[in-house]
Amino acid sequence: MARRVRARSRARPRRVPRRIGMFLPARHRYLSEIITFRSISGAHEAVRQLRRLYHEAKTREKKLTILRAVVLAANRAETAAKKHPSFSPEVRRRWKRIAQIYRSLAEELKHEYRREYYGTD
């Protein structure tokens, strides 16, 4: 007896994989209002606010959310500085500096997070 072959026409259509990137709308509005790429001084001010929010956070989830947002900000700034076609050299330097500012905060917060929740130094 021959085996029956299932017809795909009635089955659910195949899903086309979505392109997932880092330039998506903000998930956390309050963090997106703090993080800025407009100027270096604005990035310094955002770092101060984010550091304060991180230390005031009462739950692990909130701290991790802030940490992820800072890492994403650093990644966005680095990627834009490298790949944006219409950035002048001066603007690229500014965006790279902003990326360094956010990256240094991310490394600091990662270190604190690991020490607090994993006991590593």
* Domain locations in the chain as residue ranges: 29-118
Q: Can you read off the two tokens belonging to residue 71?
A: 């890492």
- Could you report the per-residue pLDDT of 64-109, keeping only the tens digit for each? 999 999 999 999 999 999 999 999 999 999 999 999 999 999 999 9
∠ CA(95), CA(99), CA(100), 5° rounding? 120
Mean pLDDT confidence for 32-49: 98
pLDDT at 64: 98
Q: Can you read off the two tokens belonging to residue 16?
A: 């086309």
DSSP state of 11: S
- Tell me the residue type at 47: V
Separation of alpha carbons 84 and 88, rounded Å: 9
Report residue 57's pLDDT band, with 50, 70 and 90 as the boundaries.
very high
Per-residue pLDDT for 1 more than 70? no
pLDDT at 5: 64
- Could you report the per-residue pLDDT of 8-28, keeping only the tens digit for each? 555 666 676 666 788 888 899
53 in Cβ contact with 110 (< 8 Å): no
